[in-house]
Structure 1
Amino acid sequence: MADGAGPVFRIAHLSDLHCGGPYFEPTLLERAIAEINELEPDIVICSGDLTTLGFKHEYHLAREYVNRIACDALVVVPGNHDSRNVGYVHFEELFGERNSVLRKGGVTVVAVDSTEPDLDHGQIGRGRYPWIEREFAAGPADLKIFVLHHHLLPVPGTGRERNVVYDAGDAIECLQRAGVRLVLSGHKHVPYAWRLENLFVVNTGTVSSLRLRGNTRPCYNVVEVCGSHVDIWRRHPFHGQERIIQFSTTTLEYEKYTGRIDAEVRSRP
C-alpha cells in the first residue's frame, strides 16, 4: 500500500479510565495524556467508562483528567459503569450530550450512548438508525467514524460473550448503508480489531485500569489519516507502540500486522 502524501490528521482514542476504582492507576492515565498532548491530535475520542460506579466524585475526577487533554475537538460517550447509580445525570452535567456529531478536516464522527442504566449490556436501538444515517449523509466526509462503548463483534480472550450490542446485526447494516469505514469502542479491556467487508471495528483496551485479562496491557489507540491512507497504532503508556491496521479509504486494500492474538486483524467473508 502506498504511503499517503500531505499533512497527517491524528485521532487519539482512549477508553475505560475507571477513575475512582481500586484498580485505577493514575500514573498510567497521566502518562497517556502527556503522550497524547505531545502528538497534538486533531480529535480525541473517549469511548466510555470514565468512572467505576458512576458516582459524582468519580465524574469530577474524570473531568479533571480530561481537562488536561490539549485538544479542542473532544468526543466522549458514557460506558456501562458511567450509567450506574443514575450516573448519566452527572455525565450530562460535566461532559454534555450523550450522543454527538463532530465534523473536522474531512472526518465525520458520530458517537452514541449504547448503555442501559445499571446493566452491562448495550444497544443502539432501531429508533436511532435514521438519525445516524442522516448525520453521516449531512455533508461530504473522507472518513466516517462511529463511536460507542460496547463492541459490535465478539472479542477473543474475554470469556463467555454477554455484552455484544443486542442489536449488533441491524446496527452494522445501518453503518454499512451510511458508508462508515471505522468503528471505535472499548468496554472489555482487551484490544482487538476485526475487518467485516469494508468496515473496520477496532476495540481499544483500558488506558488506566489494572483490571486486565490474560497478558493484555493498558493501552490506547492513535488513528493517523494522510490523504486516503489510514494507519492505526496501539500505544502503551511508557512502553512504545505497534501498528495494527493499515488501509485506504478509497479501496478495500488493507494490511494486517499480526503478533499476539489481541494484535491480530481478522477477516470475515
Structure 2
Amino acid sequence: MHRLLTGPLKVENLTVAIADLPASLHGTKIVQLSDFHYDGIRLSDRLLEDAIAASNQAEPDLVLLTGDYVTSDPAPIHKLVLHLKHLQSRFGVCAILGNHDIYYRHSKQEIRTALTNIGITVLWNQVIYPLGPGLALIGLADFRSSKFKPASVMKQVDAATPRIVLSHNPDSAEILQQWRVDLQLSGHTHGGQILLPGLGPLPAWLPTLTRFIPKPLRRHVPYLRKDSRNVFQHWEWAQGLHQVGTNRLYVNRGLGTYLPGRLFCPPEVTVIQLVIARD
C-alpha cells in the first residue's frame, strides 16, 4: 500500500480502570495490533516493522493480536510470521482469528499453525490466564462464523473474575452484554478508513448518501455492494473506546488498508495500561 493511501503509524495510549483487578496487575501494560491484511498490497513491510518497533518500545507485559493476518489466500502468513516473531513482551503474545483468516476451508489451520510455530498462543473459544488467575483472557471465534458461541466460553470464568475478551468483530459487543466484559478488544473496521471531520466514519453516512449515487455506480462503492452489507453494522463503534451497556469496547483501526485508502484515520498500535478501579 502506497504511503499516501495509508498514512503514518500512530500510537494510541489508553488507561483502563478495572474493578477487582489484583494489586499485582495494577499498571500492567498491553499492546494491541490488528488487521494486518499482509498480502503484498495492503500493508508495507516498512509500516509493519514500524508497528513492531513501536510495540517493543512500549515494553508490554502482553501483546494481543485481534485477527485478519491475511486477506484471502493464507500463504502470506508464512512471511508475516518472520516479522511477528520479533514481537517482545514479558508474558508472551496471544491472538485470535478474524473473518479473513477463515476465508478458505484450510485457512484456519494453516494460519493457526504458522502463528503457533513462533510461540504465539492462538485462541478459538478458549480461556487462559497468561497474567495469573486474577485476570482471564478470553478469545472468541469470529462473530460471523458458525462457531461463535460465547455462552459456553463465558460461563467458564467465575463472575467475580475480571476478564479481557478478544473478539475480532465489534458487532459482537451487542451480544456480549449478557456477560461481564471489563474490556473487549476488537478490530475489523479499519476505523472506517475515511473519517469525515465532525461527522465520523464515511461508511456510517453512505446509506444516507446513496440517493446521490447513480444506481449503476453503487455496486462499485465499498460498503454499498450486496456482499458488504453484513460486514459491519455498528459504525458508531468503528474506532476508539466505547461503553456498551456495562461493558467496555475498544476498537483498533488496524494496520492494513483497502482502497481508496485512509483519510484522518491512521494505522494504529494501541498501548493499554490496566489500573485498579477506585470507588
TM range (shorter): 0.5 to 0.7
d(CA) in 2 for partners of 1:53, 1:209: 14
CA distance in 1, matches of 2:270, 2:54: 11
Partner of 1:172: 177
1:88 to 98, 101, 108: 108
Q: Contact 2:36 / 2:70 at 8 angstroms: preserved in 1?
A: yes
- Answer 1 or 2: higher relative contact order, Cα 8 Å, separation at least 6: 2
Paired residue for 1:202, among 238, 250, 269? 250
How many Å separate the matches in 1 of 2:146 and 2:185? 15
The superposition leaves residues 124-176 of structure 1 with CA deviations (integer Å, 9 ceiling, x where unpaired) of 634x4122221x229x64x4110011112xxxxxxxxxxxx4xx644331xx2
Q: Which amino acid aligns with 1:172?
A: Q
What CA RMSD, in Å, does the superposition of the two structures yield over aligned residues? Answer: 2.8
Q: Deviations over 1:101-130 (max 9, x none)?
A: 331153321011215xxxxx456634x412
Q: Partners in 1 of 2:262 and 2:252 — Cα distance?
A: 13
Q: Report the equivalent of 1:61.
A: 79
How far did residue 188 of structure 1 move?
1.0
Looking at structure 2, the residues matched to 10 and 204 of structure 1 have their Cα atoms a distance apart, in angstroms, of 16
Task: Give the equivalent residue in structure 2 for 1:263.
Answer: none
Q: Does 1:77 align with 2:96?
A: yes
CA distance in 2, matches of 1:29, 1:209: 12
User: Which structure 2 residue ranges, 5 or more long, are not aligned?
Assistant: 1-14, 117-121, 192-238
Amino acid at match of 1:125: F
Q: What is the letter of the counterpart of residue 135 of structure 2?
A: V
Percentage of pairs with the same residue: 21
Structure 1 gap ranges (5+): 116-120, 153-164, 229-247, 252-269
TM-score by length of 2: 0.63
| Aligned counterpart, 1:159 | none
1:262 maps to what in 2?
A: none
Query: Which has the larger share of helix?
Result: 2
Structure with more of its chain in strand, by fraction:
1
Matches within 5 A, 1:94-173: 94-96=114-116, 97-99=122-124, 100-103=126-129, 104-105=131-132, 106-114=134-142, 121-122=144-145, 125-126=148-149, 128-134=150-156, 136-137=157-158, 141=161, 143-152=162-171, 165=172, 169-173=174-178
**What is the aligned length?**
201
Distance in 2, Cα, partners of 1:59 & 1:15: 14
